[in-house]
Amino acid sequence: MSHRGIRKFFVRGFVFALPIILILGYTEYKLRGVPNSYSTKRKHLERQLDSIEVLVLGSSQMADALNPALFRQHGFNLCNIAQPLYHDIQLARRYIPRMPRLRCVIFSLSYFSFGYNLEDTGESWRDYYYYHFWDIKANDVKWYDARTVSYIALYQPKRVLRYAARGFTVNEVEGMQPNGWNRAEKTHYELINDSLGHERVRTHDVLMKQSRVDENFRSLAGLVGDLRNQGIFTIFVTPPVYTTYSKFMNPATVALNRRLIDSLCTMYGCPYVDLSTDQRFVITDFQDNDHLNEAGAEKVSRILNNETLSRFYASR
């Protein structure tokens, strides 16, 4: 092929590829502006760093269950869907030094918390969201994975096409309040039953690894010790679950969790509030077997405010 032919070939190839490149570039640009629970929560958090007095950390069970607006102090709910202790601790260490008024950290410790880490699960893809939106690099985030550089790869093509069909004007976190609480109004009665509750517990049992228990315990103990040295108080809370979930929890796991939490409380003088089987919570407080709705969140928030936080502040 002559030089002219080669040049013509590359020109045609460029002309053919240019629209595709422009479409992909535009899509990447638009995806960066789509609100999600990570980017939205970070935006809200960073606007309030200088005024937060109570910080809440944990998974979705507490993201739905605790509304800091019902605290006497300015609080923020930094919990998120499937958020493990690893990310709780990473977020705490990153942001607490930037919170001059912080006095108390509430850690949500669910049935599965000590034995759980995202990279062991089918939801390890969430680690790439923490990488993009929180600048936290978990051990399973690989530099050669397309999800580290591409939002199209991060969101996956099917979701991207759904967003594109709506002109990228989507917001899948409409229930998230500026204080980080995820507002869920309804009770979905069809989702609350023994069959689904048993399935949910078994799912959590599979997620837990014995090797993570010691790792998570040591990391949490190290953070709580550092917080105490800074004059920051820690409260441990196990959020409510409905009886269709609690009846299937493994007694050995429940007992191990209690021993670990009691050990932390003894070492660092932390109170523990176990609401997991608290009979004040009834079916109309739940949206499903292990997540509260707005009514349940009001109960949890008032219980913690009136029975625990008020005592802590009264003693200071």
- Which two structure tokens, joined as six digits, stand for 108? 């949500």
| 102 three-class SS | coil
- Quote the CA–CA distance of 68 and 73 in Å, as a whole number: 8
Higher pLDDT, 3 or 297: 297
Whether 116 contacts 85, CB under 8 Å = yes
CA-to-CA distance for 133 and 119, rounded, in angstroms? 17
Name 122's Cβ contacts closer than 8 Å, sequence gap at least 6. none
CB-CB neighbours of 94 under 10 Å: 12
| pLDDT digit string, tens, across residues 228-287 | 999 999 999 999 999 999 999 999 999 999 999 999 999 999 999 999 999 999 999 999
Nearest Cα to Cα of residue 236 among 266, 255, 261: 261
Poorest-confidence range of 90-104, 118-132, 160-174, 275-289? 160-174
In the predicted structure, residue 113 carries a pLDDT above the cut 70: yes
User: What whole-number distance in Å separates Cα of residue 64 and Cα of residue 175?
Assistant: 10
How many Cα atoms within 13 Å fall on the side-chain side of residue 193?
6
Backbone angles phi, psi at 235, to 5 degrees: -125, 135
**At 25, is the pLDDT very low, low, confident or very high (cuts 50, 70, 90)?**
confident
Helix 85-95 vs helix 210-229: crossing angle, to nearest 10: 20
Coil, helix or strand for 205? helix
Q: Which residues contact 282 (CB under 8 A, 6 or more apart)?
A: none
CA pseudo-torsion sign 98, 116, 176, 150: positive
Return the SS3 of 274: strand
**Distance between CA atoms of residues 193 and 243, nearest Å:** 9
pLDDT for 311: 82
Over range 16-41, report the average pLDDT: 85
Share of the chain above pLDDT 70, in %: 94
| pLDDT tens by residue, 153-174 | 999 999 999 999 999 898 888 8
Pick from 310, 139, 78, 105: which is nearest to 226 by CA? 105
Assess whether pLDDT exceeds 80 at residue 1.
Answer: no
CA distance 237 to 58: 10
Other CB atoms closer than 10 Å to residue 93's CB: what's the count?
Answer: 13
> Is a pLDDT exceeding 70 seen at residue 14?
no
Domain segments of the chain as ranges: 42-124+177-314
pLDDT band at 222 (very low <50, low <70, confident <90, very high): very high
- pLDDT of 21 reads 76
Nearest to 208 by CA among 92, 90, 85, 87: 85
- With a cut of 90, say whether residue 175 has pLDDT above it: no
Sign of the dihedral defined by the CA atoms of residues 44, 98, 100, 96, in that order: positive
Domain 42-124+177-314 maps to which CATH number in 3.40.50.1110, 3.30.420.40, 3.30.210.10, 3.40.50.620?
3.40.50.1110
Of 22-26, 52-56, 304-308, the poorest mean pLDDT is in 22-26
- Helices 37-46 and 126-133, packing angle to 10 deg: 30
Determine phi and psi for 35, rounding to 5 degrees: -65, 135
* Gyration radius of the chain over CA positions: 23
